[in-house]
Structure 1
Amino acid sequence: MNEPLSLHGLQADIRPYGLSLSAIERAALKHQRPCCIWLTGLSGAGKSTLANLLELRLSGQGRHTFVLDGDNVRGGLCRDLGMGAEARKENIRRLAEVARLMVEAGLIVIVSAISPFRAERAAARALFAADEFLEVYVSTSFAVCARRDPKGLYQAASQGRIRDFTGLDSPYEAPLNADCEIDTETVGLACATDRLMELLLKK
């Protein structure tokens, strides 16, 4: 009796279906140029706050947007993943793939995620056309983020209750050539949002 093929075995036979409506046509319906703006930095750096403010500013201009927040996605799409290095890589891969689909749908997608490893951020960028991906390094220092500690994570990590905490016992690889760098200790939120809007306008 023949064994049924597993989904893994069928992977080589999967072919993308050619959709009639193109990404360019979807973008034209929304009267905007879709892109992904990827905010990376330590926990507490201000990524989610900036992503939210940027979306509000864009929405006020009639733009079609969506924020993919790392913590929010971990409650659903990535809730099966742990916090080890391999799980974090898979988390970023999933975020990047969803962001790519949303850009194809014509949206301006704002990703807010620690995304600590350069290789995974580079892999995310590679999914997009050259003018569709913007990397923003929210470079607020470890000391400032630890002092803010909005979720109590730094205290828990310093007490050994959380392992593999980024910036403490797990590395954070800062971007080498980010499209924009913002330190929320020295740059106010309104000014930071202005800078992000200017970045988008230039692209």
Structure 2
Amino acid sequence: MTNISNDQLNIRWQDVTLDKNTRAKMKAQVPCCIWLTGLSGAGKSTIANLLEQRLFEQNHHTYLLDGDNLRHGLNQDLGFTEIDRAENIRRVAEVSKLMVDAGLIVIASFISPFEAERQMARRLFAEGEFIEVYIATPLAECEKRDTKGLYAKARRGELKNFTGIDSAYEPPENPEVVVDTCNLSADACVDKIISTLRVLRNN
């Protein structure tokens, strides 16, 4: 159970005039968080970047949150222990929620290895606002690519708590979208994500 300090007990929600629906209406879109999860090297960053470009071309207002980029700023004080990873995802989820409240379509690209943390993120959003995309590229393929040389370091014991090697990855239980970059190109993966968004919007 979380301990609440006396200072926190004095904090109250401040009412504001503009709300999420008003901001979204101005942008002529339905805001949401598209959460990409998968192993290092699965193709998350490539797909997220291409997805944002495609949505931008369709006149949508977007923002891309990338795991590596946020560790240069917002999350630079966090390591890679399970506790730090959980805090990493908590912060990202809260930022994503604020951006959705601003009326944006947010694309969050993070390994986010634990189901509990991804479910925590989902619970911050209204029904239908959190779209989980599992980049289901197998470990063997990710390790074969090893674009950053991280798997090799982990195998040599030079990199601790690396997902897929000495730290677990828990695949999503019920993601809205599943793509495998072994069988689909990045463009085809983005097509599938956008098609799913359209279906969800029409339900």
TM-score tier (shorter)? over 0.9
Match of 1:129 in 2: 126
Pick the aligned partner of 1:79 from 76, 79, 95: 76
- Structure-1 separation of matches of 2:13 and 2:143: 45
1:167 partner letter: G
Counterpart in the other structure of 2:182: 185
User: For residue 136 of structure 2, what is the amino acid of its counterpart?
Assistant: S
Shift of 1:12: 1.2
Look up the equivalent residue of 1:31 and give its one-letter code: A
Q: 1:108 aligns with which of 100, 105, 109?
A: 105
Residue matched to 1:143: 140
Q: Residue 57 in 1 paired to residue 54 in 2?
A: yes
**Alignment correspondent of 1:25:** 22
- Counterpart residue number, 1:88: 85
Q: Secondary structure at the match of 2:141?
A: helix
- Alignment partners' CA distance in 2, 1:132 and 1:40: 16
1:123-176: CA deviation from partner (whole Å, max 9, x where unpaired): 000000111011010000100000101111001101111001101110000011
Structure-2 separation of matches of 1:122 and 1:75? 25
Q: Which runs of 5+ in 2 are unaligned?
A: none
How far apart, CA to CA, are the structure 1 residues paired with 2:148 and 2:58? 32
In the TM superposition, what is the alpha-carbon distance from 1:9 to its structure 2 partner? 3.4
For residue 201 of structure 1, what is the aligned residue in structure 2? 198
Measure how far apart 1:8 and its partner are: 4.6
Give CA-to-partner distance per residue, 1:88-130, whole Å, 9 cap, x none. 0000000000000000000000000000000000000000011
Paired residue for 2:166? 169
Equivalent-residue separation in structure 2 for 1:85 and 1:9 (angstroms): 29
Q: Distance in 1 between matches of 2:147 and 2:16?
A: 44
Identity across matched positions, percent = 53
Q: How many aligned positions are there?
A: 197
**Gap runs ≥5 in structure 1:** 1-6
Specify the alignment match of 2:94 in structure 1.
Answer: 97
Larger Rg: 1 or 2? Answer: 1
Which runs of 4 or more aligned residues in structure 1 lie more than 6 Å from their structure 2 counterparts after TM superposition?
none
Task: Give the SS at the match of 1:57.
Answer: helix
DSSP-derived class of the 2:137 partner: coil
C-alpha separation in 1, matches of 2:157 and 2:163:
13
Give the aligned residue type for 1:88. R
RMSD across aligned positions (CA): 1.0
Q: Establish whether residue 40 from structure 1 lines up as the match of residue 37 from structure 2.
A: yes
Q: Distance in 1 between matches of 2:145 and 2:26?
A: 42
